Structure 1
Amino acid sequence: IYSGHLSEDRTLEEVKNCAWWPSCRKETIEYCRTCDRCQKANRSTGEKFGVMIHIQEPKSPWEVVHMDWVTALPPSGDKSYNSCLVIVDRYRKTPIFLPCHKDDTAMDTAFLLWSRVICHTGLFKNIITDRDPKFTSALWTNLDRLFGTKLSF
């Protein structure tokens, strides 16, 4: 009971394991609802997630890819790369890791993707990524329209 600020149900179970009195349930729940530390420990944090969408399985490699950045890495290499663009082929689950810089622009990212991946794999039909400004820019909107790809968030 003294080791943490648990949910009402878990606290009640702990109390029942070592004690009982007629108003045990009512008093335990009231205590949990008025305990400042319990409220902070058990509150809902962050935004609610949107509706999940079904992503159809691709029929061939490099048809659908997932892309995201890993940032805040220690500088490495002769160009002091501090980020990594991660691209995963949804069909084969094959990852590609491209060293880059955190402050690379949408144009830098497009060039990196073109010169290091698309020239070997061909164009993707669908790119799934988060709403990073590099992918929501006018450049990517125009590239998607030009190449007939779909950018999904």
Structure 2
Amino acid sequence: KTSNRPPDGLLLPLSVPSRPWSHISLDFITALPPSKGNTVILTVVDRFSKATHFIPLPKLPSAKETAVAVIDHVFRIHGLPTNVVSDRGPQFVSKFWREFCKLLGATVSLSSGFHPQSNGQTERANQDVERVLRCLASNNPSSWCQQLSIVEYAHNSLPVSSTGMSPFKCSLGYQPPNFVSTESEVSVPSTHALVQR
């Protein structure tokens, strides 16, 4: 019997970035409980520093909506990438997305359906944020969106094995401080509530 499987080929590793935010990978976390009108997280990982942005969205976006999200939340801060890695979701295989990346001067790298590990950094970031949000929002699943900023900050504060430093240190050149104890006395109670959220 003949095999329907594609022929084995060489798996080529992704190129190694030489600077922060030149090579990014994207993926979505879907089917989340509604939280502040959002049910999806767009995860964007810098392949150099492993710094990550978690962007809440109301629904699985179109290619154009994805482009707007990365412009508004990533490119305006870090500049334009030269390479964008993603899975083969409809947003990323569309003509609009290919033209958008071409206009940026960025190459598009799609992970293979037979080798999804090529987008593994983003998959791992998704697993991490899902695990942490599950713990933080266990009593109130619809509160995950309020926790997302602090989860991103914590994620980017922890050292990663590949660099031996945190994504913040690797991409910014310094380590921002951790939040101080929420047990401190404060004269304005609303500040305590904001930091504690």
| TM-score normalized with structure 1 length | 0.64
- 1:74 and 2:42 correspond: no
Which amino acid counterpart does residue 28 of structure 2 have in structure 1? W
Which amino acid counterpart does residue 14 of structure 2 have in structure 1? I
Q: What's the counterpart of residue 24 of structure 2?
A: 65
Q: What's the counterpart of residue 32 of structure 1?
A: none
Instruction: Report the count of equivalent residues.
Output: 105
Higher relative contact order (CA 8 A, sep 6+): 2
What per-residue deviation string (whole Å, max 9, x for no partner) do you get for residues 55-81 of structure 1? 12111000111110000111101xx10
Q: What's the counterpart of residue 46 of structure 2?
A: 89
The percent of aligned pairs where both chains have the same amino acid is 33
Q: Which has the higher strand share?
A: 1
Q: Is the 8 A contact 2:41 2:57 kept in 1?
A: yes
Q: What's the counterpart of residue 108 of structure 1?
A: 65
For residue 115 of structure 1, give the secondary structure of its aligned residue in structure 2: helix
1:118 to 62, 65, 75: 75
| TM-score normalized with structure 2 length | 0.50
CA distance in 2, matches of 1:118, 1:50: 34
What per-residue deviation string (whole Å, max 9, x for no partner) do you get for residues 16-69 of structure 1? xxxxxxxxxxxxxxxxxxxxxxxxxxxxxxx88975321121110001111100
RMSD: 1.8
For residue 117 of structure 1, give the secondary structure of its aligned residue in structure 2: helix
- 1:53 and 2:12 correspond: yes
CA distance in 1, matches of 2:41, 2:100: 22
For residue 115 of structure 1, report the CA deviation from its aligned partner: 1.0
What per-residue deviation string (whole Å, max 9, x for no partner) do you get for residues 99-135 of structure 1? 0133421111111110111011110010111001101
Q: Is the 8 A contact 2:41 2:55 kept in 1?
A: yes
For residue 67 of structure 2, give the secondary structure of its aligned residue in structure 1: helix
